[in-house]
Structure 1
Amino acid sequence: MGGEQALTVEGDSQDLEDRVNNRTLRPVSGTFKEFMTEGWDSQEPEQQALESSSFTPARLQALGKRFPGERLVIPAGNLKTRNNDCDYAFRPDTTFAYYTGLGEDFEAGAVLVLNPVADASSEENQGATHTPTLYVHPRADQSTEDYYRSAQYGEYWVGPRPGLKELSAMTGIQTEDIAQLPDALAKDIGTEEGAVQLRVVRDADPQITQMVEDIRWENGCDDPDRNTEADGKLHEFAAEERMIKDSYEVAEMRKAVDATKLGFDRILERLPEAVDKPRAERMLESAFNSIARERGNDVGYGTIVASGSHAPVLHWMRNNGTVRNGELLLIDAGVEVNSLYTADITRTFPVGGKFSPLQRDIYETVLSAQQAAFEVAKPGVTYSDIHHTVMRVLAEALHNWGILPVSVEESLSPSGQQHRRWHACGCAHHLGLDVHDCAQARYESYQDAPIEAGMIFTIEPGLYFKENDLLVPPEFRGIGVRIEDDVLMTEHGPEWISAGIPKTVDDVEEWMAQRAAAAHQVRTEN
């Protein structure tokens, strides 16, 4: 990796930022500075309106109506240090992405502000409550010193990037220089009648949150508990608004699922050559993740590739194990497309291509639980209904195997729950821009709220028998099975968005054979 954070003046007295760059020799002469700002051709990035820009006005309008007269601050977030002077790849905050329609890594440090319209203004007369403004860093193009000095924004370092004009064209939102943000946020803030109050998505960007807090305190809004509660309500509302997807979001989710299917295809093509190899789980992880980068922005979450005794580990992401014939291979993965919508799919495969009788029995139990939950899922039911349906199927199977130490009804009672030893996690959740989307919503708006048309969620039952679990027969130990699919609720009932990804025993075995044969043919031809 080349380069440095910035070109800075060297001297005998250096601060910490300077010392970070001691590994390089930096020209600082006036001649060099002049030379670096001349003789460059213009690189104007051409940007057109994003498809999402047709959908964000309705989202912004709903947000503004919930908080009339208040200034709403939604940061994109900023780059996060991975180590020393290296940053993680930037992904904007989910709330920012939802209300601007910006995905990928377009604008670290940007801030969306919804300003309340003036009383009796033409905007108010037309029904508007707020006007949105996007505060962004101007382009550091070849006409500026930052072109070669700024490793974060300088286009010598990062290539042409959209600035104010381009981001306005992409989003349909007015843009302003980020330098104007402090004054814009502080305007008319106070405690008197008619003064403006501030709300901010607190967790997105600590620096912006601190700026908001400072402005509050300077203008008499100095109750920290009240401020935190107000900010929480903003985040909560934004999460609950994302529960029902518009047509654009549904289409993006379908793209994410289709790309995820290709990722699983690539895993199965590589599986035969990975068997018995050290760190084979990572070989398969890299196969999936390559599709995520080719077809989308990235993976939507850390890919789980869990073979054998790793499969019952719910969040196994170390992925450093060996894959062996006769074991089950649990893969939980999703592609995040460029708009940042992600799929969330889990499949469990028999490494040798065929399920053993016990593996088949456990697998088909989990599949039956998933199908029962799907059949229960209709408009008006709740996540709790889905959960209880899954739990009954699993508890009955555990009882039939002689594993459950009490009756099915006692285990299902609130005072029992013994079956949860083998399924301690949830079995359904909202899905969208986040893999566990809408997590800031109230309990009564999530678990106990009726499922409505337009919601997208997972159904993901499983059975997890740890290798050290002495309460199950030895042949069960070290077996983990999860089957997870993505569901769109329609007015007529649920739809498997991921119906094209095989999951019955026979279909999974056939899928594995087909992909292995296709990979073998390619290797033979080459």
Structure 2
Amino acid sequence: MIKEEIYKSRRESFLRRMKKESAALFFSAPQKVRSNDTEYPYRQDSDFYYLTGFKEDNSVLLLIKGKKTTKEILFVQKKDETLELWTGKRLGETEAKKRFSVDKVYTSKRFEAKLKKSLLNKKRVYLDIFSEDKRVLQVKELVKELSKSRSAKYTPKEFLHARDISQAMRLKKTSQEIELIKKALSITKEAHHRAMKMKKAGIREYELQAMFEYEFKKNGAYSDAYTTIVAGGNRGNTLHYVQNSEVLKRGELILIDAGCEYEMYASDITRTIPVSGKFTKSQKEVYEAVLKTQLLVIDAIRPGIKKSELQETARKSLCEALIKLGILKGDVKTLVKENRDKKYFPHGIGHWMGIDVHDQCPYKDEKGEEITLEEGMVLTVEPGLYLQQDDKEVPKRYRGIAIRIEDDILVTKEGCENLSFDIAKTVQEIESLFLQSL
């Protein structure tokens, strides 16, 4: 668990980055309706959680920076016994004051009045300027109303995107964050290893998906970090296949992209395994080409490297493999320049990961230059080759094969650490796990 002093230090860091005579607002995620009067399971807004550690809805964080002083204010849902009968206990104003190291705690009903007072004599407001949340629109209307005030020295005339600061802060993980990611990965490992051991021929993809969700919850994970992909055979060539409804057939591969979320921190792992427990010769050839590429990319990760350099390493390696497999012809440099490889490797080599499985952290700095890797950053590495069943340009023995291998990598002082190193991924490891279950 992350301690309250860490959240406090994050708020202080955010305040230091704000311009003077400003206010910043972060809203909890709203409840989302699934249909009629039923709602999706609640999941807190990532930036709000990053700065507060608070998981309740109907809450607001207000940060104020004057010329010389700062203030932190939290608004929370009031205690209401009738409401709690239906939706569960609330922390409430009194307990929130004890728990959070903020200057003031008020009930959410006092938000508008307190905000109106706080924005007087402020020059700008930081918020999510792209949000359509009704509370963001409420703030904008309030600023418009204040602009007509004759008593204030000045009122806000500028809106700045608060997430530009918070998401840049989230790029580098603390030791506590890394431990939570490792915990998520330890749970995810158990699920992937169980899948490798299972007899899978004849079951439907959703049965394997259900096993993953069971393993996640059984081991204390709140939920999956994203919708699990279980794609048998040619369906693995659909990158975000989530129907998970077809029967798994002997002789096919299964591309499984599944990771859990533990205490709001994600894991993101892809493994491609044989239904029957053993790779065919053709499957093995493609698999080992993708694995070789992944290991090359991971080996290249260190501070100072750019993600685009990792992408080029992956493209060249996979292009060499495509030539060797007889799928492409020509020299690597020309094929990459002409983007011929993108037909078979259409996506990026990876993405930031943390509170969100695709952490919305910047890839470019304020000058528009690509960000270089630094110690503490966490990213995925996920090369793949996707060979469609109906692609006549692909030798027949490889058609319908889809392989992706994905691990979660921490950038260290001198190189990197594969946080998911102990999840089986070599041909021998995967086949051995299946044999152990017989």
Bucket of the pairwise TM-score, normalised by the shorter protein: over 0.9
Report the Cα offset of residue 175 of structure 1: 2.1
TM-score, length-normalised on structure 1? 0.77
Q: Is contact 1:333–1:346 with CA below 8 Å preserved after alignment?
A: yes
Return 5+ residue gaps in structure 2 as ranges: 149-155
Write out per-residue CA displacement over residues 446-483 of structure 1, whole angstroms, 9 at most, x where no aligned residue.
98211000011111000011122222122222110000
User: What is the alpha-carbon distance in structure 2 between the residues aligned to residue 86 and residue 304 of structure 1?
Assistant: 25
Correspondent of 1:300 among 219, 225, 246:
225
Match of 1:281 in 2: 205
User: What is the alpha-carbon distance in structure 2 between the residues aligned to residue 266 and residue 172 of structure 1?
Assistant: 43
In the alignment, is residue 216 of structure 1 matched against residue 165 of structure 2? no
Give the greater-gyration-radius structure (CA): 1
TM-score, length-normalised on structure 2? 0.92
Match of 1:356 in 2: 280
Correspondent of 1:83 among 14, 17, 35:
35
Secondary structure, counterpart of 1:475 in structure 2: helix
Write out per-residue CA displacement over residues 67-114 of structure 1, whole angstroms, 9 at most, x where no aligned residue.
132110000121010000000011111110111123xxx311211111
Match of 1:315 in 2: 240
Q: Is contact 1:300–1:334 with CA below 8 Å preserved after alignment?
A: yes
In the alignment, is residue 243 of structure 1 matched against residue 243 of structure 2? no
Report the Cα offset of residue 355 of structure 1: 0.8
Cα gap change, 1:509 to 1:165, in 2 (>3 Å): farther
Correspondent of 1:500 among 415, 422, 425:
422
Report the Cα offset of residue 263 of structure 1: 1.8
Match of 1:460 in 2: 382
Secondary structure, counterpart of 2:290 in structure 1: helix
Report the Cα offset of residue 188 of structure 1: 5.1
Cα gap change, 1:445 to 1:316, in 2 (>3 Å): farther
Q: Percent identity?
A: 30
In the alignment, is residue 207 of structure 1 matched against residue 134 of structure 2? yes
User: What is the alpha-carbon distance in structure 1 between the residues aligned to residue 369 and residue 194 of structure 2?
Assistant: 36
Secondary structure, counterpart of 1:51 in structure 2: coil
In the alignment, is residue 252 of structure 1 matched against residue 174 of structure 2? no
Report the Cα offset of residue 423 of structure 1: 0.7
Secondary structure, counterpart of 2:91 in structure 1: coil
Match of 1:172 in 2: 101
Report the Cα offset of residue 313 of structure 1: 1.1
User: What is the alpha-carbon distance in structure 1 between the residues aligned to residue 178 and residue 60 of structure 2?
Assistant: 26
Report the Cα offset of residue 139 of structure 1: 1.4
Correspondent of 2:15 among 45, 48, 64:
64
Secondary structure, counterpart of 2:138 in structure 1: helix
Report the Cα offset of residue 158 of structure 1: 2.1
Write out per-residue CA displacement over residues 141-199 of structure 1, whole angstroms, 9 at most, x where no aligned residue.
2xxxxx1xxxxxx1111232322233344443342110111122222536xxx534222
Report the Cα offset of residue 116 of structure 1: 2.1
Q: Is contact 2:253–2:273 with CA below 8 Å preserved after alignment?
A: yes
Match of 2:308 in 1: 384
Correspondent of 1:97 among 28, 49, 67:
49
Match of 2:124 in 1: 197
Write out per-residue CA displacement over residues 476-499 of structure 1, whole angstroms, 9 at most, x where no aligned residue.
221100000011111021001001
Matches within 5 A, 1:461-480: 461-480=383-402
Q: Is contact 1:75–1:205 with CA below 8 Å preserved after alignment?
A: no
Report the Cα offset of residue 206 of structure 1: 0.8
User: What is the alpha-carbon distance in structure 1 between the residues aligned to residue 321 and residue 276 of structure 2?
Assistant: 26
Aligned residue pairs total 428
Cα gap change, 1:427 to 1:478, in 2 (>3 Å): same
User: What is the alpha-carbon distance in structure 1 between the residues aligned to residue 157 and residue 382 of structure 2?
Assistant: 34
Which has the higher mean CA deviation after the structures are superposed, 201-210 or 316-325?
201-210
Aligned AA for 1:96? Answer: F
Structure of greater relative contact order (alpha carbons < 8 Å, 6+ residues apart): 2
Aligned AA for 1:177? Answer: T
Write out per-residue CA displacement over residues 399-436 of structure 1, whole angstroms, 9 at most, x where no aligned residue.
122211442111222xx111010010111111001111
Q: Is contact 2:363–2:371 with CA below 8 Å preserved after alignment?
A: no
Cα gap change, 1:67 to 1:161, in 2 (>3 Å): same
